[in-house]
Structure formats: structure tokens, C-alpha cells
Amino acid sequence: MKDNNVDFGLRTFLKELGGIAGGTALLATVPWLSSCTPARLKETAGEVVRIGMIGTGSRGQFHLHNLKAIPAARVTVLCDTYEPNLRAAADIVGSGPGTRTAANSGTRTAANSGTRTAANSGTRTAAGAGSNTRTPAGVKTCTDWRRVLDDPDVDAVIIATPLHLHAEMTIAALQAGKHVFCEKAMALTEDDCLAAYRAYTSGDRVLFYGMQRLFDPKYLEAIRLIHEGKIGDIVGMRCHWFRNADWRRAVPSPELERHINWRLYREYSGGLMTELGSHQLEVCNWALGLMPVQVTGMGDIVYWRDGREVYDSVNVTYRYSNGCKICYESLIANKYNGMEEQILGSKGTLDLAKGVYWLEEDNEISGMRQLLGQVRDGVFSAVPAAGPSWRPELRSRYVPHAVMKGNYGVAAGESMTGESGDGSDVLLEAFCQACITGEKAADIVEEAYCSTLLCLLGNRAMETGRVLDFPAEYVIPYMKF
């Protein structure tokens, strides 16, 4: 039975976008939201997509909590090679709301046609590799991810595994006829990115990647303001993401070190670039509407000299054909500066992460208000001959303006798992909606491809110490240079 009265996350998100300044125009110009209209949500209310979760670590469990609040989602299978995570995930699915057993009305399943059988790169455990059990909550569990693809009770899979497995699992799932949601980044190598992209474009299955900023209202409104010229012409971009933590998880037994701390080893991880930079580089491209033509950088292990192989400090510069540059920096031994994504314009600066902008010549507040503020702060001085200057050219004197009215979430960037209100829940619900309708969301895969390629090229530039041109063999039609 359909429930057309449920006002769940995606519908609320669309209402909020429609209510902000320029919201109607915004909805019309965001391609990946074109099929997520209130009318379409009403048409598909009550239909369910059956989901298999591959990878039940911290990020997978974060997604499970969000899925419990999505009426269109029903988790039927959980898969992991690490038993404690599998048990924890089963407990999440079996507790409270979200364990609905509504029939799947309208979602398609497909036979496993052409699934690859390549070995799981050493991450499977021998014990119980082919097991398939059912928890008290009724959800099935297994330790071999291919069993999820073979399961006729699975319409779509969510892949939240170490990065080196993303491409193999995504391609196999698409070939098995499953819709796919895969965490960022897209893949560990440029060739695997291209292979996954081609598998998607050659088939009819839905594919989403974990690029939640594409579904965060403050980002959408900020990009609209930038494209409307609020801060003038873009002349530069500065992004950083700082934390102070070793990025290491507790290991109950030495043989599990690389299994649990996979982010620290190059065989499995792209380090800070793919884990953090993929989000920030994506919004820079989004703001400018171009791809960089060159990249150079330096990376080092400065502080966490504990056997890890990936850098704990990176500085990378990306250059666009018009001379504009991204200056990107990330380190994990100091958190003072937090996370920022600054788009620098000829008329102002906008920080997408905070949802705030500052204007060079601020006509949005009255001159008298500025003057009174300066008198209050004791900074008023002699009027120069050229005329009054209501603000000294100091960053601390710029007046911040919110990109949106009302309350909205601003993440500090400290969590290694996810933040409430960061767009992840809406992204998942949009994926479920797409699985039901079978409509591919425009641009999401392409945006993930572009940002991942830039991360991987950044790593290669740091490793080689060279200035790299963007390789012609990885150009796709979506890219503009």
C-alpha cells in the first residue's frame, strides 16, 4: 500500500531548495536532480528497492543508519569479511524502524550475467568464505561479496569497502544487473576509473558515487551564487582539510593490520587525496566549470612515522587553461585551520564548506552600519584624500554573509565517518529513487570520475616530483578544459 503522506528526507530537501532564493531556477539547472521531483516521488511512494550492503565498517554502518529512515530502502543482505563489523551491522538493521518487510513492487532483478571471478585481492578470509546465514532480524549475512551479486533478493548494492576494491566490485555488480552505489573515490588507478566509467555508460544500470556535496543545499546555493556572478570572475581557489589524528584504528591481531588500517597503505589507498581531496577538488571543478590541464605537488610523511606508506602532509597545485589555480593542502597532525573550500573572485570570496561569502566592496550593508561598527571596534581613522574607506583591507574586517537563510549544517571536517546533515542521507534516498524508476542521474558518475582522476594525478605528481599534463587517454566527453 502506498503512503503518500510520508514527508521523508528527499522530499523535504526539494522543498527546502524550492524555498530558498532562486530555488526554482536552481532545481532546473542541477542535472542530477532532474528526476527527483515531488511529483515523481509521489508516483513511486510505497515501492521498495532491496539492497545488499558490501562492506560494513564505519562508513557502511553510517549508511545503514541513514537507510533505516528511507521508506524506499530495505536491506536484505550484509557482507563483510570481518565478523565484528558484520555483527554490528546486523544489529543496526535489526533495531528499531527500518526493518520493514514491504513487498518489492516495481523494482527489477536480473540474473548474474558475466560476473567476474577475480580474486578479492587478499581481503577475504578462508573461514566461512562461502557461508550465507540469516540474522534474527531476517537479513542475510555472508563473507563473499559475489554471493550478494548472485542473490535474486538484491536489486541494488552499496559498496563501502577499501578503495582498491571499488572498481572490481562496481563493474561486477553492473554486469550482474544490479544498481550500484559506491563510496568515493571511484578507483585506485586511472585505468580502473576508465573501466568503471565504460561499464556504466555501456549498460542501463544506475550508478551513484558518494559525492554528498552534490546534495547539500548550501553547496547548491553557493554554486548558484558563484555562477550568477556574486563574487565576480573566479581568479583562484584555495582548499584545505586539516585534522589531528593518526588515522589509525585499533587492531585486535597483527595479521589484521592491513585489513583494518587499509587507508595507510598504498596497495589499498590513495591517502589524503582520495579520502578527503576527492570532495574538495570536485566542488572546485563544479564552481569553475572546467578541468585543470596541469598538476604538481609535494607530499611527505612529516609526523606519523609509524610504518604507514601514504603521506600525512600534501600540497598540490592544479592549473586551469585560463591560468586559475587550485592550491590544495591537507595534513593530519594539526587541526587549527579545519576545513575550508574558498572560491576567490574579483568581487568577493565564498567558502562553500561554511556556506558564507565576503564581498570586496560590500554594498549589502549600509555605509553607516559599517562606520558605526568601525567606531565601536576602535578602528576608524583619518579619511584618505581619495574618499572614505569604510573597511580596512584586513580579513578580520570583512562582513560575512550566509548563502542561505535559516539554519543549515556546517561540518567541521573532523569525523572520519560522516556528518549529520552533510547530504549523505539525501544522496542515498536519491539513489533508491533512481533504482525504482531506472533513471540514471545525470553527471554524478562523471563528477566522481573527474575528481578521482585529479586525486590520482596529484598523487602521481607528488611521487614523481614532476609537473604533469592531464593525460589525453583519460579524457571523457563530459570534460571541458
Shared domain check, 263 and 152: no
For residue 252, the domain's CATH number is 3.30.360.10
Per residue in 392-406, pLDDT (tens digit) is 445 667 899 999 887
The better pLDDT of the pair 18, 141 is held by 141
Cis ω before 126 (30° cut-off from 0): no
Percent of the chain at pLDDT above 90?
67
- The domain tally of the chain equals 2
Parallel, antiparallel, or unpaired: how do β-strands 73-79 and 468-469 relate? unpaired
113 and 102 co-located in one domain:
yes
What would the mean pLDDT of 455-477 be, rounded to a whole number? 98
Mean residue pLDDT of the chain comes to: 83
pTM: 0.84
Position 243 confidence tier, pLDDT thresholds 50, 70, 90: very high
Q: Are residues 204 and 229 in the same domain?
A: no
Radius of gyration from C-alpha coordinates of the chain: 24
Residue 29: pLDDT band with limits 50, 70, 90: low
Check pLDDT > 70 for residue 347.
Answer: yes
Measure the CA–CA gap between 53 and 161, rounded to whole angstroms.
Answer: 10
pLDDT band at 374 (very low <50, low <70, confident <90, very high): very low
Tell me: do 69 and 170 sit in the same domain: yes
Give me the residue label for grid cell 610523511.
301
User: What pLDDT score does 101 carry?
Assistant: 32
Decide which of 262 and 414 is more confident: 262
Report the alpha-carbon distance of residue 239 to residue 242 in Å, rounded.
Answer: 10
Q: Are residues 158 and 282 in the same domain?
A: no
Same domain? 246 vs 375: yes
Q: Is the pLDDT of residue 42 over 80?
A: no
CATH at residue 21 = 3.40.50.720
> Quick check: is 359 in a domain?
yes
The three cell numbers locating residue 178: 544490479
pLDDT score of 155: 98
Amino acid (one-letter) located at 162: P
| 142 has pLDDT over 60 | yes
Q: What is the pLDDT of residue 386?
A: 38
Question: Which has more confidence, 460 or 378?
Answer: 460
Q: What is the pLDDT of residue 115?
A: 31
Contact 448, 260 (CB under 8 A): no
Q: Is pLDDT of 103 > 50?
A: no
Closest CA to 281 of 163, 452, 409, 469: 452
Question: Is the per-residue pLDDT at 102 higher than 70?
Answer: no
Phi, psi of 81 (to 5 degrees): -95, -5
* Residue 162 within a domain: yes
Segments forming the whole domain that contains residue 32? 9-214+421-440
Instruction: Tell me the three cell numbers of residue 246.
Output: 593518526
Asked whether residue 3 is assigned to any structural domain, the reply reads: no
248 and 315 share a domain? yes
Decide if 480 is inside a domain: no
Q: Are 197 and 82 found together in one domain?
A: yes
Residue 110 has a pLDDT of 32
What's the grid cell of residue 26? 536552481
40 and 164 both lie in a single domain: yes
**What was the pLDDT predicted at 43?**
74
Asked if residue 55 and residue 201 are part of one domain, the reply reads: yes
pLDDT beyond 90 at 447: yes
Q: What is the pLDDT of residues 254-272, one digit of tens each?
A: 999 999 999 999 999 999 9
pLDDT digits (tens, 9 = 90+) for 56-94: 999 999 999 999 999 999 999 999 999 999 999 999 998
User: Does the structure show a pLDDT above 90 at 28?
Assistant: no
Residues 182 and 262 in one domain: no
452 and 339 in a single domain? The answer is yes
Please provide the distance, in angstroms rounded to a whole number, between the alpha carbons at the two ends of the chain: 50
